[in-house]
Structure 1
Amino acid sequence: MAERQIRCPICMHHCLLQPGQIGRCRARKNENGKSRPVNYGRLTALALDPIEKKPLAMFAPGSRILSAGSFGCNLSCPFCQNYEISMCEEEPETVYVSPERLAEKALELQRQGNIGVAYTYNEPLVGYEYVRDTAALVRRAGMKNVIVTNGSVTEEVLEEILPFTDAMNIDLKGITDAFYRSLGGDLETVKRFIKRAAPACHVELTTLIVPGENDSEGQMEQLAAWVAGVDDKIPLHVTRFFPRWKMTDRPSTKVETVCRLADVAGRHLKHVFTGNC
């Protein structure tokens, strides 16, 4: 049978891929007529982090978690903090770690306070199969799974990983369609993701405040009100921007701006935290 083009079903981009072609996420390709992850088990980073670094403020506070990252992302945020692995045009140096070995490593680190595995650093769900397979083993071992994600994948992908997920930090980058489009994303996709995830596991949200982009009180009022409509007990992290990658044309967000917007969010939400201040 002749090889054929496909539409990748993983996220809102639904990339049309010719045989052997890699999608815009840099992590999936058309292999034998299927969308396959090229980053399966290929880690660029592995570290034992404080849980607060994810950031999670209200899930197992004071604990540590083995954090694993691969490469690839389906957004194109010009301020990306980990652009070397998420936005890489050429595949970065990696080490293959099987799901079995990562789960074993998590268990070995229990004596150092480790509670499980966090899938983080790049966008983990563009390679959700590795997350799903590893998370099942971690859960079987009695440990926790944390996913740090942009929430920009289909509900079908979310349903694959939810049964093994204990906590998530989801980026809610803003509350306007225009801002999300400028990042190569889709606001409604993220909203659906949050609505489905919030009742199923512990969810915290992060909004990075970028000067001149999403730093108005009106936008924060709208964002916090929407989150409260899902659940006003969802923690929101309002964090400070620093010039990075392609966005070095503006200064860091003022600390007072972050604090003021956190106060605005607090009119609607019970748990608001500031970050990078």
Structure 2
Amino acid sequence: MDEPISSAERYPAKYWHWLSDGRIQCDLCPRDCRLHEGQRGVCFVRGRLDDEMALTTYGRSSGFCVDPIEKKPLNHFYPGSSVLSFGTAGCNLACKFCQNWDISKSRNFDNLADQASSEAIARTAERLGCKSVAFTYNDPVIFAEYAMDVADACHERNIKTVAVTAGYIHAEPRRDFFAKMDAANVDLKAFTEEFYVKQTGSRLQPVLETLKYLKHETQVWLELTTLLIPGLNDSTEELQALSEWVARELGVEVPIHFTAFHPDYKMIDMPSTPMSTLIRARNIAHMAGLNYVYTGNMHNKDGDITFCPSCSTTLIERDWYEIAHYRLTSNSHCPDCDIAIAGRFDEYAETFGRRRMSVTIGG
């Protein structure tokens, strides 16, 4: 049984209301956890303390690293730049295939050794020359208050903010949270309700609603990721339906990343995704009309390149996370046919490369 919340973990959380039976309901995500005094929600980090909702991981992180932005993955958001990345603990989904399960499924807050104020994070990102700060490793939706405060501090120093999320969030907090974000990579984990219920303990429709909201009602730069698991979400029919939905509801210029599954957490007996599946998924998405389709977690040269959707010339050539060649014009057009390329670009790509640096932040 999860331990009850202690007064030492008190930080007032938003998005909850009283129920007629004396419980309080969390209104952050579609799980709608209903809590008695001392109980935690499914995410483990939000719970009831002294008749209020508390966030127990505010200001506490599982660690800070500087990564290439392509690792988030974001290929059309300031390519080649560095991003200061961090997460906390817990998650509001229950993915059996979680690749960061030691963080997202953590019930040991002693692992949250790095404590940092919003200002300290923004100051460190600026000192290290990071273009952005990413809320990642576990879903930032569940530590929304902390992420939003960090985002405010970052924007005061002209540091961009990135959310790596499953998009499982209610309308009101969704509006508040993404108003603070400059870019998002959303995990569209599959395109069937059966997969979401059985493999993640959640539902598909709220994620689709988040995607449509981000594309049509915000200025947030959006990219998608789908982890392909053999036999579960990689059929030609499902990939075709997913790709056609993206083209129809979000538009052909939204980049999508098909990434390879490796056995982990509760799926250690499943086979890894073969390269042929990634290539098939990429071809299906292109046939559906999507302009920018990438592959990940395996090295595939064509799946790393940004091609012009009009004349097919190579615009951004990548070697894993390193920019090998970059030839966009100063106004982010193709130099050969002059078509505009969707994304957020500088005139020149930065050259952070494929490094990964651990960072300690104090204060």
Q: State the TM-score bracket (shorter-chain normalisation).
A: over 0.9
Structure 2 CA distance for aligned equivalents of residues 163 and 140 of structure 1:
15
- The reply on whether 1:79 has 2:97 as its aligned counterpart is yes
2:164 corresponds in structure 1 to: 148
Match of 2:28 among 1, 5, 10: 10
SS in 1 for 2:64: strand
- The reply on whether 1:132 has 2:152 as its aligned counterpart is no
- Over 3 Å counting, the alpha-carbon distance change for 1:15 and 1:240 in structure 2 is same
1:188-215 alpha-carbon deviations (Å, 9 max, x no partner)? 1100111111232100000000011001
2:117 corresponds in structure 1 to: 98
Aligned partners of 1:125 and 1:149 also within 8 Å: yes
- The reply on whether 1:252 has 2:249 as its aligned counterpart is no
1:50-104 alpha-carbon deviations (Å, 9 max, x no partner)? 0000000111000000001111101111111111110123334112211111111
Structure 1 CA distance for aligned equivalents of residues 51 and 119 of structure 2:
28
SS in 1 for 2:106: coil
Report how far residue 17 of structure 1 moved: 0.9
Structure 2 CA distance for aligned equivalents of residues 36 and 250 of structure 1:
38
User: What's the TM-score, normalizing by structure 2?
Assistant: 0.73
Match of 1:41 among 51, 55, 59: 59
Aligned partners of 2:162 and 2:184 also within 8 Å: yes
Report how far residue 128 of structure 1 moved: 0.2
| RMSD (Å), alpha carbons | 1.3
Match of 1:157 among 170, 173, 185: 173
2:85 corresponds in structure 1 to: 67
**Residues 216-227 of structure 1: pairs in structure 2 closer than 5 A:** 216-227=235-246
1:243 corresponds in structure 2 to: 263
Structure 2 CA distance for aligned equivalents of residues 202 and 134 of structure 1:
19
- The reply on whether 1:30 has 2:48 as its aligned counterpart is yes
1:138-180 alpha-carbon deviations (Å, 9 max, x no partner)? 1121110000001001121111122221100000001111101
Q: Which amino acid counterpart does residue 163 of structure 1 have in structure 2?
A: A
Larger radius of gyration: 2
**Unaligned residue ranges in structure 2 (runs of 5+):** 1-20, 299-363
Q: Report which stretch shifted further, 96-105 or 164-173.
A: 96-105
Match of 1:108 among 108, 127, 132: 127
Structure 1 CA distance for aligned equivalents of residues 180 and 52 of structure 2:
24
SS in 2 for 1:164: coil
Report how far residue 27 of structure 1 moved: 1.2
Report how far residue 4 of structure 1 moved: 4.3
1:117 corresponds in structure 2 to: 133
1:214-242 alpha-carbon deviations (Å, 9 max, x no partner)? 01010000001111122111100001100
Aligned partners of 2:90 and 2:107 also within 8 Å: no
Match of 2:292 among 264, 271, 275: 271
- Over 3 Å counting, the alpha-carbon distance change for 1:92 and 1:207 in structure 2 is farther
Aligned partners of 1:85 and 1:92 also within 8 Å: no
1:187 corresponds in structure 2 to: 204
Aligned partners of 1:5 and 1:30 also within 8 Å: no
Q: Which amino acid counterpart does residue 102 of structure 2 have in structure 1?
A: E
SS in 2 for 1:198: helix
Structure 2 CA distance for aligned equivalents of residues 26 and 74 of structure 1:
8
Q: Which has the higher helix share?
A: 1
Aligned partners of 2:229 and 2:260 also within 8 Å: yes
Aligned partners of 1:4 and 1:19 also within 8 Å: no
Q: Report which stretch shifted further, 168-177 or 192-201.
A: 192-201
1:210 corresponds in structure 2 to: 229
Q: Report which stretch shifted further, 93-102 or 114-123.
A: 93-102
Structure 2 CA distance for aligned equivalents of residues 223 and 202 of structure 1:
20
Aligned length: 272
